[in-house]
Structure 1
C-alpha cells in the first residue's frame, strides 16, 4: 500500500474508467500542451460530431512529484506531471443524452463533487443552427407532400382516371425505386454503398422484397375500391399486426399496458367499417392484407437481418429489394392484367398525360422512401412515428376535400379512436424500453 499518491493521476484514471463504462465505442488519447495542464481528448468514432462537452475539475496537486505513487496503467504511461486543472473534452453526437454525463457525478470522489462544472458548447453558430432548422422543416414538408401526394395520385389513377391496373402501377413504382436508389447511392452518395456478402443474405433480402411488393400491391388494389379515409383507418392498425407477428415468430411479449392500447386500435376500425358509406368487402380484405404484410416485413427484417454483418440501412435495402420486387411483379402483371402494356400505350396515344402521371407517381413513390430516411436521420424514429400519426389525419382531410367522398360521423369517430389507440400504443412502447 502506498502512503502517497498523485491525486491528478488518480483522478484521470478514474475519469477514463468512468468514460469507458459509459461510452464503450469511444477512443481517446492523452496530450499535454502545458506543464500545468493535462488534457484528455475523448473522440467519438462518428464522422459528424456536433456537440462539445467540457468538464472542468479544479484539484489541488503537490508542487513536487511524490516519491511514491500508484503505478500508471499502460494507457497513461509515462506518468503525467502535476496540474492545476483537468479538462475533459468530449465530442458528442446529438443523440447522446446529457443524463448519461450527469451520472458521472456520484462516481467521482466526494471531495470533487461540488467543484464539477458542466459546460455545454454548441460548435455551430446561430446562423448555421437556424439553417439546420429550416432544412429539417423542409424535409418534413417534403416527406408529408410525397406521402400524401403518392397516396392521392394512386387513388386518382386507379379510381377516378380509370387506370385499373394496380399491379402494373406497383411495377412502375418498383422500377423507379430500383433505378433512383442506385443513382442516389452510387452517384450522389446519399449513403455509403453496402454490398450483399452471401447467398443467404440475398435470399433473406429476396423474401423481404416479395413481402414488400405484396404489401404495396394490396394497398394499391384497396385504393381502387375504398375511400382514402377508410384506407388510412385500416392502415393505422399496423401496430396490432406487428405485436401479433412479433409474439408468434419471436415469442416476444410486451407489457400488459401495450396490449390494452391495441383494443381501441382494432375497435376503431370495426366502428369505422360499420359507418363507411362506400364499404367494399374485397377492398377491405386487400387493405387488411397489405397492412398485415407491412407489419410482417418489419418483424422479419428484424429477425433476418439482425447480425451486424447483414444489417443494411433502409436506402440500401430498398435498392436491393426493388429489383427483386420487379422480378415478381413483371410476370404477375403480364399474366393477371392481360395486355396491360398494350392498353397503356393505347391510352398514351389518346392522352399523353397518362405517361407523365405514371412517371411522376413512380418518382414520388421513391421520394417517399428517401424523405422517410432523411427525416429519421435528421430527427429521430420517435419523431417520425409522431409525424406519421399526424400524417394519416392530414391525408384523410385532404382526400375528403379533393375527392368529396362521403364520410359519416360514425366513420370519423372510429378513425379517431384508432389514431388515439396508436398514440397510446407508442407511449406504452416508449415506457417499456
Structure 2
C-alpha cells in the first residue's frame, strides 16, 4: 500500500514493480497478438485464444491449487457453477472478438474503441438490473462515444468489419463485468479474479475447441507446416499465451497493492501508452483527427470515473 511521510506519497518498490509488470504484460500480449495475426500472417484468432485459455488453465491450477500463492475459493453450489459457465461463454466471445479485430485494425484504434467500456457498462447495468447513475455521470459518457466517432472518421486504416467486431468485444467485456457483479454478488459466492479465471479458463477451452475445429479445422496442420519453416511460431504462441495469463495475475496484484480505483486510473493511462508504443513499432498511420478523437475518449473516461466516485459517496 502507498504510505505518506510529511505529505509526500511514498510508493513501495514492490507496487511499482507490479504496475510495470501489469503494463508490460498488457501491452506485450496486445502487440504480440497484432504481430501474429496481422504482420506474421498467422490468421487463426480462435485457435490463438484457445492456446491462451489452455495455458491460463494450467497456470491457474499451479498458482491457485498447487502453490497456494492465491488462496483457493471453492464453488459452493451448482447454481454458482452455472453462473460461472455463463460468464465463461461471454468471456470467450469477448476475447475471440478482440483477437479477430487485431487482424483488421491497428492497435491504436483498437484501444480507442476499448476505452468505451464504461459506456457499455453503464448501458448494460441499466438494462439488466435497472441500476441508475446520476445524470452528470451519464453526461460524461457523451465525450467517450463522441471521441470514438471522431477517431473512426479520422482513422486512415479504418476497416468496417474490424470496427464492428472490436465494438462487439468491448460490449461483451462490459456485459461480463455487469453479469459478474450480479451473478457473484452474494457474500458466499464472491470470487476474486484469479479464482474466477481458474474455473472459467477450462470452460473456455471446452467452448473454443469445437469452435476452432469448426471455423479453423486445418489450423494444426498449417501450424505444423509453418513450424517446419520457422520454429519460432511455437515460441510466439507460448509467449502470447503466457502473457495472457500474466495480464490477469498482475491485474489482481495491482488491485491488491493499490485499489480498484487506482487500477481504473492506471488502465486509462495504459491505453494511451499502448497507442504510442504500437505506433512506434508498427508505424501505422494516424491522423490528427484520430488523435483528437482518442484524447476526447480518454478525457471522457477520466471524467466518468471521477463523477462516479464522487456521486457514489453521496
Please state which band the TM-score falls in when normalised by the shorter chain. over 0.9
Structure-1 separation of matches of 2:279 and 2:235:
24
Structure-2 separation of matches of 1:364 and 1:346:
25
Task: Specify the alignment match of 2:216 in structure 1.
Answer: 337
* Residue pairs, 1:5-404, within 5 angstroms: 133-404=12-283
Structure-1 separation of matches of 2:23 and 2:51:
21
Q: 1:416 aligns with which of 292, 295, 306?
A: 295
Structure-2 separation of matches of 1:319 and 1:347:
31
Shift of 1:338: 2.4
Higher normalized helix content (fraction of residues) = 2
Shift of 1:188: 2.1
Q: What secondary structure sits across from 2:103 in the alignment?
A: helix
Shift of 1:348: 1.0
Structure-2 separation of matches of 1:350 and 1:339:
17
Structure-2 separation of matches of 1:214 and 1:243:
20
Structure-1 separation of matches of 2:226 and 2:244:
22
Show CA shifts across 1:342-387 (max 9, x none).
1111111111000000001100100000000001001111111111
Which ranges in structure 1 are unaligned for 5 or more consecutive residues?
1-93, 96-119, 121-128
Taking structure 1 as the reference length, the TM-score comes to 0.70
Structure-2 separation of matches of 1:144 and 1:398:
12
Structure-2 separation of matches of 1:204 and 1:155:
32
Show CA shifts across 1:223-265 (max 9, x none).
0000100000000000000000000011111001100000000
Structure-2 separation of matches of 1:309 and 1:387:
30
Task: Specify the alignment match of 1:50 in structure 2.
Answer: none
Shift of 1:203: 0.7
Structure-2 separation of matches of 1:280 and 1:388:
25
Shift of 1:179: 0.6
Task: Specify the alignment match of 1:37 in structure 2.
Answer: none
Taking structure 2 as the reference length, the TM-score comes to 0.96
Q: What secondary structure sits across from 2:89 in the alignment?
A: helix
Shift of 1:306: 1.1
Structure-2 separation of matches of 1:345 and 1:200:
41
Structure-2 separation of matches of 1:212 and 1:425:
24
Structure-2 separation of matches of 1:134 and 1:244:
38
Structure-1 separation of matches of 2:69 and 2:307:
34
Corresponding residue pairs, total: 307
Which ranges in structure 2 are unaligned for 5 or more consecutive residues?
none
